[in-house]
Structure 1
Amino acid sequence: NPLVSSSAGFLPEAKLPTTMVFMAEFDILKDRNLEMCKVMRSHGKRVEGVVHGGVGHAFHIFDNSSMSRDRIHDMMCRLHNFIHP
């Protein structure tokens, strides 16, 4: 991603809003997203990363288990509080 690539040189000057990144513990993309958050923070960007335990990729769309429903509720509450502090 050129926005967070250390060689792109774009990120330090980018006017990015505070960002919230939701991740799932068993998502194949979790490590990539954690790294993105780390790089953004290292360039002074405000990032809130949330890892939801016990669920996989797109749990909020594909999984109808009680665990997923609990994580979805948590995600929506966090998002609401992020937008309306």
Structure 2
Amino acid sequence: MDDTELDKKLKSVGKAAFVSNYDLFQNFTAGRISRADAIETLVRQKVSNEAGAAIRIGNAKLIFENGRELDALDLVVQSNRLNNDIRDLARKLR
């Protein structure tokens, strides 16, 4: 996965959603949580509807499977459009 594809996948997940649900995406990728449970969690948190949640977890999984999660966090930290809380959380996860 090159930088352009990473950026595209991260935007599809949502930068704030990627950081806020980092553990969920990590656990889903590792097989510790089912796809259905991951989708249900995002819907329950009002991150998105079921279809949107499925897209988010799929793209987040691709980021993790390609070992680009730290690069994704770096993109979040560098983003000027996100609030400081999200960027600070990304720094801590990094």
Structure exhibiting the larger radius of gyration computed from Cα positions: 1
Q: Which has the higher contact order (CA 8 A, sep 6+)?
A: 2
Same structural fold, with TM-score higher than 0.5 when normalized by the shorter chain: no
TM-score (norm 1): 0.36
More helix per residue:
2
Pick the structure with more strand per residue.
1
